[in-house]
Amino acid sequence: KITLNIDHKNIEVPKGTTILEAAAEVGIDIPTLCHMKLHDMNIENKPGGCRVCVVEVKGRRNLAPACCTEVAQGMEISTHSMRAVNARRTILELILSDHPADCLVCAKSGNCELQDMAHQMGIREIHYQGAQTHYREDTSPAIIREMDKCIRCKRCETMCNHVQTVGVLSTINRGFEAVISPAFEMNLDHSVCTYCGQCVAVCPTGALTEVDETGAVIRALSDPSKTVIVQTAPAVRAALGEEFEMEAGTLVTGKMVSALRRLGFDYVFDTDFAADLTIMEEGTELLSRLGKYLAGDKEVKMPILTSCCPAWVKFFEHQFPELKDIPSTARSPQQMFGAIAKTYFADKIGVKREDLVVVSIMPCVAKKYESSRDEFAVDGNPDVDHALTTRELASLINLSNIDFNSLPEEDFDKPLGESTGAGVIFGTTGGVIEAAVRTAYEVQTGKMLPRLDFHELRGMEGLRKATIDFDGTPINIGIAHGLGNARQLLEEIKAGKSEFHAIEIMSCPGGCIGGGGQPYHHGDVEILKKRQKALYSEDKNKTLRKSHENPHIKKLYEEFLGAPMSEKAHHLLHTKYFD
């Protein structure tokens, strides 16, 4: 143990603690721009680069960066002495001298850590002349890079290289020319970027943002010749409230539906409906592969992998092309919804495909990319026209002067708005496979499940495993969230050492609740845990909690698709993968 004094408070901390961590223990907040730590997830970025966290240590000539200076016995630290404050303000002015001042039109305005800090430190004038080097803007189907706004905090590098192990982003050039970039300064859409959006989720400024589609949605909603429908992803309802000052984990399903109706959507539907549909298709595929495998068929590939996360799909297409016949061929719920909406539902309401606009609200930026993939369009008309993030929906609601907090709670429209608890838990790590187990067990064994809550599949550890007893047959299940964790399971499969029958993979830490399009969590893992809890409570409160019991799914098969994996289902609900 080390004893020291911070701002006249005595404190005892373990050896190896940084000044920043020690100060936090006694409730002292030292400002930082580059530092980031997601507790319990083994995610940390502390390059000591921004220097905003400098503090005064008695007896030392130089100020010390608090994020990467370890405490020492008897240290006396002043975190906000005038000398420290002066240095901090000067450093901030130097950063601002090389930063565009277009806050009025910046996508990050109001959510920018640099802007907040300039305000908090009372910066009114910038006494330095930066180079104001101009770097080209790089636009991809999901993410925009505006490197003029980059402050080289390297948080994105940590997420891309260490957490996701994609390795797209690194610092190139020097001095004012330095930028974070894909290799050879190529554009993101030529790189192996998965569009997971985890770099966007942690960027403190407007350097990395999602492609904004709110303008296109406003145009569609104001066009009387269009019928505009919307689907909302499972994880959105557990986070949208945070944009309206609600406590993390507040479920706002009913208010979200009302808000979407007030925005002018003709029908408000639920991606959870399509999640139930995904379970019917993916579960059937799982059981068919499993049945053959257990009967000794050497040709059949095991394990089956979930395929609903588009960043994960892009990851294995680039990094493990030799495994591309292992994931389920089922499309994601977003895309199943689009395909059913533009065929079955369009016919039902008598609207032509080109006059029906399908909008999704997603916690994810990769969903923008997924909806733009060629295989999800008919004659150039996409199944999903626009995928907005949770943040973009919040900005639309604000734009329409809707008082979100006082909205009544309303229900989704039928038929594509009806869902079970199984669909809801898709939004958190472990939820897709739990939903699959609930259906696969009953279909396989012909018996009622003795319980519905599979606590062994839940949690926040990056890699989890459990064995579920299918009435005498043990089924081994693996779960990974974060692509670095997924990579470990894929390496095992490649080496022929995988013990699993089925694996769920989600790209973002926490699953979709931690998606790159969610309200910024600023590194607070507790927020993710609260969102996760909210989804399990919505599941618990549903009358129906197994996908195969959804009456509108049954009707869809009776009226339109025939059976799971039928030719029509194959055509509309399944896909293939590319090298």
Contact residues toward ligand SF4 (CB under 6 A) are: 143, 159-160, 164, 166, 168-169, 193-199
Nearer to ligand SF4, 69 or 198 (CB): 198
Nearest residue to 228 (alpha-carbon basis) of 461, 47, 386: 386
CB of 113 to ligand HC0, least distance (A): 25
Q: What is the closest distance, in whole angstroms, from the C-beta atom of residue 106 to ligand HC0 in the complex?
A: 25
Question: Which residue among the candidates 512, 529, 546, 547 is catalytic per the annotation?
Answer: 512
The listed partner (ligand SF4, ligand HC0, none) that binds 341, CB under 5 to 8 Å by sort, is none
- Least separation in angstroms between residue 507's CB and ligand HC0 is 9
Q: How many alpha carbons lie under 13 Å from residue 325 in its C-beta half-sphere?
A: 5
Q: Which of 169, 505 has the CB closer to ligand SF4? A: 169
280 binds, among ligand HC0, ligand SF4, none (CB under 5 to 8 A by kind): none
Please say if 53 is a catalytic residue.
Answer: no
Q: Which is the catalytic residue, given 56, 285, 418, 504?
A: 285
Q: Are 295 and 444 in contact (CB under 8 A)?
A: no
- Other Cβ atoms within 10 Å of 160 Cβ, number: 24
Minimum distance, C-beta of residue 556 to ligand HC0, in the bound complex (Å): 16
Helix, strand, coil in percent for the chain, rounding step 5: 45, 15, 40
The label of the residue with tokens 């994810």 reads: 364
113, 213, 242, 282: the active-site residue: 282
User: Closest CB to ligand HC0 among 205 and 575?
Assistant: 575
In sequence order, what DSSP letters do the residues of 35-82 get, joined into one string? -EEETTTTEEE----S-TTEEEETT-SS-EEGGG-B--TT-EEESS-H
- If binding is defined by CB under 6 A, does position 235 make contact with ligand HC0? yes
Q: Report the residue number, 333 or 417, with the smaller CB distance to ligand HC0.
A: 333
Q: 290: closest CA among 138, 104, 500?
A: 500
559, with CB counted inside 10 A (0-12, 13-18, 19+), is: exposed
State how far the Cα of 141 lies from the Cα of 131, in Å rounded to an integer: 30
Q: What's the token pair of residue 81?
A: 């002495």
Q: How many residues bind ligand HC0 (CB under 6 A)?
A: 20
Binding partner of 327, given ligand HC0, ligand SF4, none, CB within 5-8 angstroms per partner class: none
Label residue 218 exposed, middle or buried (CB < 10 Å: 0-12, 13-18, 19+): middle
Q: Which does 193 bind (CB under 5 to 8 A by kind): ligand SF4, ligand HC0, none?
A: ligand SF4
Whether 566 is a known active-site residue: answer: no
Cis peptide before 415 (omega within 30 of 0): yes
The reply on whether position 328 binds ligand HC0 by CB under 6 A is no
Tell me how far, at minimum, the Cβ of 535 lies from ligand HC0, in Å: 9
Q: Can you tell me which of 159, 230, 432, 553 binds ligand HC0, judged by CB under 6 A? A: 432
Between CA 558 and CA 556 the distance in angstroms is: 5
In the bound complex, what is the minimum distance in angstroms from residue 450's beta carbon to ligand HC0? 26
Contact 355, 227 (CB under 8 A): yes
Q: Binding ligand HC0 by CB under 6 A: which of 78, 334, 498, 547?
A: 334
Q: Name which of ligand SF4, ligand HC0, none residue 482 binds, using a CB cut-off of 5 to 8 Å depending on partner kind.
A: none
- For 446-463, letters b (16+ CB in 10 Å) and e give eeeeeeeebeebbebebe
Instruction: Verify whether residue 418 is a known catalytic residue.
Output: no
Closest CA to 203 of 243, 268, 158: 158
DSSP 223-236: -TT-EEEEEE-GGG
Q: How many CB atoms lie within 10 A of CB 144?
A: 18
**The one catalytic residue among 50, 106, 153, 308:** 308
Q: What is the DSSP letter of 557?
A: I
| Identified catalytic residue from 56, 210, 370, 392 | 370
Which candidate, 43, 42, 13, 19, places its Cα nearest to that of 32? 19
The interface partner of residue 159, options being ligand HC0, ligand SF4, none and the CB cut-off 5 to 8 Å by kind, is ligand SF4
Residue 387 binds which entry of ligand SF4, ligand HC0, none, CB below 5-8 Å type-dependent: none
3-state DSSP call for residue 276?
helix
309 touching ligand HC0, by CB under 6 A = yes
Closest by Cα among 141, 194, 139, 138 to 374? 141
Between residues 54 and 309, which has the closer beta carbon with respect to ligand SF4? Answer: 309
249 forms bridges with which residues in the sheet? none
125 included as an active-site residue: no
Instruction: Name which of ligand HC0, ligand SF4, none residue 57 binds, using a CB cut-off of 5 to 8 Å depending on partner kind.
Output: none
- CA atoms in the 13 A half-sphere facing the CB of 274: 28
Q: Does 197 bind ligand HC0 (CB under 6 A)?
A: no
- Nearest residue to the partner ligand HC0, using Cβ: 512
User: Does residue number 332 form part of the binding site for ligand HC0 (CB under 6 A)?
Assistant: yes
Bond from prior residue into 408 cis (ω within 30 degrees of 0): no
- CA-nearest of 204, 209, 208 to 49 is 204
Choose between 159 and 302: whose C-beta lies nearer to ligand SF4.
159
- Active site annotation includes 255: no
CB of 530 to ligand HC0, least distance (A): 15
Active site residue 146: no
**Cβ-contact 153, 49 below 8 angstroms:** yes
Our answer to whether residue 419 is catalytic in this structure is no
> With CB cut-offs between 5 and 8 Å by kind, which of ligand SF4, ligand HC0, none does residue 166 bind?
ligand SF4
Per CB under 6 A, 283 contacts ligand HC0: no
Residue 341 in 3-state DSSP?
A: helix
- Does 308 qualify as catalytic in the annotation? yes
Cβ at position 461, least distance to ligand SF4 in Å: 21
> How far apart are CB 432 and ligand HC0 at their closest, in Å?
6
Q: Select from 233, 263, 305, 435 the one that contacts ligand HC0 (CB under 6 A).
A: 233
Binding segment for ligand HC0 among 87-95, 130-138, 363-371, 565-573 (CB under 6 A)?
363-371
Instruction: Note the residues at the interface with ligand HC0 (CB under 6 A).
Output: 233-235, 271, 275, 308-309, 332-334, 362-364, 367, 426-427, 432, 511-512, 515
Q: Which residues are catalytic?
A: 282, 285, 308, 328, 367, 370, 375, 512
